[in-house]
Structure 1
Amino acid sequence: MKQQTFLPLQIHWKYRYCHGGSLRNSAKGRGARPLSTKDPIHLVFKVNKVAVKSGLRHPRHFTLMNRVLKRYAAKFFVKIEQFSILKDHVHLLIRGGRRSRLLSFMRVVAGQFAQGLTDTPNVKNEGPRVWEQRPFSRVIKGYRPYRIVRDYIQLNECEVNGRPYSKNRLRGLSSEQLEELWA
């Protein structure tokens, strides 16, 4: 009989390319983070509302996040195809060359933003944690899921800039509404 600890972790097919976020609370999101050097990756950083009361759209936090993203994307050779900074989370659509650089990019962006936000670069922060959960990542396989994620990020950005929120969001958008979304 094989030992239970040496058996591979059985992951549901739906979560094969996902990691982090609320999946971490169950066995679905545990294991190695799936990353791809060929396919784009949808990355979500969710901030703790207690730690960041004014939200990420506050001018100071917004410019800090923009600066951190651009600086470390260039340093780790990560291409940011699209991003949207909302009040309590950030959506990124990225591509990278090496797995190690992608992991370093995620780690450093989260750490540098948290340090810049709490003004504690050399001292451990004693307050609440800045990030609510570990970053959620999903490898996008195929053009149709890529288009859906790209439109979703664009829709989030439009809603932040004044577009009214709709419950069905991307499911009920016609081709004219999608064109208006990108106009």
Structure 2
Amino acid sequence: MIKQQSFLSLKVPWQHRFCHGGTLRKSSKGRGSRPLSTKDPIHLVLKINKSSVRGGLRNRYAFKLMTALISRYSLKFFIKIEQVSIQNDHVHLLIRGTRRSKLQSFLRVVPGQFAQNMTDTPESRNEGKKEKIWKYRPFTRIMKGFKPYQIVRDYIQLNELEANGRPYSKTRLRGLSEEQLIELWTL
């Protein structure tokens, strides 16, 4: 009885029941199985170590490689990519999958192929260091309902515009007015 009750602490809190990976993995909150859904969209975030990729993900080689890997493996694993935003140190994806096994394969193969291609460059062979490319495991969150989906969609769009030169504002996520939302999607 006591042993069974000790496993109760491994249950995921209700706030994180649709989330997995990222910084949650370091605490006991994110140690359960990854929740994936074939009906709802999934927000996926991949975060790199800034020191491991020279110039970040926005440099020409890394950007081209990441977009090629995402498009190639989304076709292979039947993943629908709704939105992509490649930042200097992380990638946001809004995806939908048809099967759990295909989603798991996509989450495994894309970061793995990126890390493999980045560490097999002539510069990394000469340096001789074996630093991890990815800072955390892929973060996923299932978007249940239209409101969270709309918030994440606007957030990814705003991140993409900021990566392309829009000025950053600390209050950018406090709620956008109707004019700002229209401006966000017309640029």
- Common topology (TM > 0.5): yes
Question: Aligned AA for 2:12?
Answer: I
Q: Give the structure 2 partner of residue 167 of structure 1.
A: 170
Deviation at 1:158, TM superposition (A): 0.4
**Can you list the C-alpha shifts for 1:138-161, whole angstroms capped at 9, x where unaligned?**
000000000000000000000011
Gaps (5+ residues) in structure 2? none
CA RMSD, Structure 1 to Structure 2 (Å): 1.6
Cα distance in 2 between the residues matched to 1:153 and 1:130: 22
Q: Give the structure 2 partner of residue 108 of structure 1.
A: 109
Cα distance in 1 between the residues matched to 2:7 and 2:32: 13
**1:8-23 correspondence runs (5 A):** 9-23=10-24
Cα distance in 1 between the residues matched to 2:88 and 2:170: 18
Gaps (5+ residues) in structure 1? none
Other structure's SS at 1:94 match: strand
Q: Give the structure 1 partner of residue 180 of structure 2.
A: 177
**1:18-167 correspondence runs (5 A):** 18-119=19-120, 127-167=130-170
Cα distance in 2 between the residues matched to 1:8 and 1:35: 22
Question: Aligned AA for 1:77?
Answer: F
Percent identity among equivalent residues?
64
Deviation at 1:6, TM superposition (A): 5.2
Greater shift in the superposed pair: 165-174 or 147-156: 165-174
TM-score, length-normalised on structure 1?
0.94
Structure whose residues are more often helix by fraction: 2
Cα distance in 1 between the residues matched to 2:84 and 2:50: 20
**Can you list the C-alpha shifts for 1:43-84, whole angstroms capped at 9, x where unaligned?**
000001121131000010000000000000000000000010
Cα distance in 1 between the residues matched to 2:25 and 2:73: 25
Cα distance in 1 between the residues matched to 2:175 and 2:75: 37
Deviation at 1:117, TM superposition (A): 1.0
How many aligned residue pairs are there? 180
Deviation at 1:116, TM superposition (A): 1.0
TM-score, length-normalised on structure 2?
0.92
Deviation at 1:8, TM superposition (A): 7.3
Question: Aligned AA for 2:160?
Answer: E
Deviation at 1:10, TM superposition (A): 2.1
**Can you list the C-alpha shifts for 1:67-124, whole angstroms capped at 9, x where unaligned?**
000000000000000010000000000000100000000100011111111117xx9x
Deviation at 1:38, TM superposition (A): 0.1
